[in-house]
Amino acid sequence: MPSRFFVRPAVALLCAVLLAACGEDKPAAPAAIRPSLSVSVVQPQRADWPAVLAANGDVRAWQEALIGAELANERIAEVVVDVGDRVAPGAVLARLADARLRAEAAEAQAAVAETRAAADEAQANAARARDLQAKGFYSSQLATQYLTTAQTAAARRAAAEARQQAASLRLAQTVIRAPTAGVIASREAAVGSLPQPGQVLFRLIRDGRLEWRAEMPSADLARVQSGQVARLQAPNGEMVSGRVRRVAPAVDPQTRNGLVFVDLPASTALKAGMFARGEIKLGQRPAVFLPQAAVVQRDGFAYVFRLGDDERVILNKVELGRRQGEQVEIVSGLAESATVVADGVAFLADGDRVTVIRSATP
């Protein structure tokens, strides 16, 4: 019995020692250190950049001629041209059936010959009557009658000649001609059809010239002048240059936008009816710029990462302006003396430590 009471305190002491050893504070594990990112840096640069106004608009024909038949309800016998053909002034576009009109022209010509003969005869009789009256063989009344007959015959001759001219004109109108040089933009004429009054058979782009009708806010119209250079991008990506011809004198009261008419050179990349984006150059203006790769877009705003004294980056909000190639203008939010990260900005966060390896040229 005495030995049992002696063992239990020893066991209790041993447990207390073990518990004390287990309860001692362990040293804290070192915090993980985020590795620094190697980056290149750059400073904003200043240079003269073109000042431009961006605009959108349609490519249209400079002038479009609407060509129809001057004779109605005459069957089309032949169509000579097709869409895309370039034609000269007076070129034949189509012909109408002319058998009936040729017969009318021949009849009118015969009538002219008949009335001309009658008029000549009446004129000769009148001249003879005047001579005989002077000699006393004809009375005044008979001489006047001959003169009246001659005048009537002359009037009939003039009427017949007018009818002949009208018949010749109708016959000439069976040939539909181009009023000016240009390119056939559309063709509605078909062999066998009967053109109706006012029906457009051909659309002709005068001289093949196109223009860009750029639409822009009324506040910008005052900055645009004739002769300024405009550049627009064709749907295939080709850049086409033109010149401002004139600015519309009025604006749309609904949109408050006005039109700028830009003459375009001949180009296979542009067709009438196309939509194009472009810009009008207003001159040169200084710009502070950075490489496009130095700018990151987050939450709808533009930012750059400015380098701090301890090689930690600071997220810096900026306002962007013009773009030229791979460079972008910094309008506000950044001092020209600042140093910013030139690339790899998508992998950075505010306060990250970086290692500068080189300087980039904007």
Question: Do the Cβ atoms of 272 and 205 come closer than 8 Å?
Answer: yes
- How much is the pLDDT for 360? 61
Instruction: Specify whether domain 38-49+286-359 bears CATH 1.10.510.10.
Output: no
Burial bucket for residue 55 (CB in 10 Å: 0-12, 13-18, 19+): buried
pLDDT of residue 310: 82
The residues spanned by each domain of the chain are: 38-49+286-359, 54-63+208-283, 64-97+174-207, 98-170
What number of helices (H) and strands (E) belong to the chain? Answer: 4, 20
Alpha carbon distance 245, 257 (integer Å): 18
Question: Where residue 182 falls among pLDDT bands split at 50, 70, 90?
Answer: very high
pLDDT at 20 over 60: no
**Position 194 pLDDT exceeds 60:** yes
Q: How far is CA 160 from CA 48, 149, 152, 154, 170, in A?
A: 78, 17, 12, 10, 15
The pLDDT of residue 362 = 58
* pLDDT of 177 higher than 60: yes
Among 56, 42, 105, smallest CA distance to 289 is for 42
Report pLDDT for 35.
58
Average pLDDT over residues 5-9: 41
Give the mean model confidence (pLDDT) for residues 107-117.
90
Which DSSP letter does residue 33 get? P
Closest CA to 59 of 280, 264, 268: 264
The whole-angstrom separation of Cα 212 and Cα 361 is 37
Express each pLDDT in 222-262 by its tens digit. Answer: 889 999 999 998 888 889 999 999 999 999 999 899 999 99
pTM recorded for the entire structure? 0.62
The listed CATH number (3.90.226.10, 2.60.120.10, 2.40.50.100, 2.60.40.10) that belongs to domain 64-97+174-207: 2.40.50.100
Q: Give every CB contact of residue 181 below 8 A, 6+ residues apart in sequence.
A: 86, 87, 88, 89, 206, 207, 208
CATH architecture of the region 54-63+208-283: Beta Barrel (2.40)
Residue-averaged pLDDT of the chain? 85
Q: Which of 20-29, 36-45, 102-111, 277-286 has the lowest mean pLDDT?
A: 20-29
Alpha helices per DSSP H over 214-327: 218-221
pLDDT at 86 over 50: yes
For residue 361, give the 3-state DSSP assignment: coil
CA distances from 16 to 8, 13, 20, 21 (A): 12, 5, 6, 9
* 163's tokens: 């009818």
d(Cα 218, Cα 140) in Å, to the nearest integer? 83
Could you read off the pLDDT of 309-342 as tens digits, one per residue? 788 899 999 999 888 888 999 999 999 889 999 9
Q: What is the pLDDT of residue 328?
A: 93
Side-chain half-sphere CA neighbours of 295 within 13 A: 24
Measure the CA–CA gap between 82 and 188, rounded to whole angstroms: 10
Digit-coded pLDDT (tens) for 293-315: 999 999 889 999 999 878 889 99
pLDDT reported for residue 29: 45
Residue 327: its pLDDT value, please? 92
Q: By the 8 A CB rule, do 334 and 318 touch? A: yes
> What gap in Å lies between CA 346 and CA 227, rounded to an integer?
43
pLDDT band at 59 (very low <50, low <70, confident <90, very high): very high
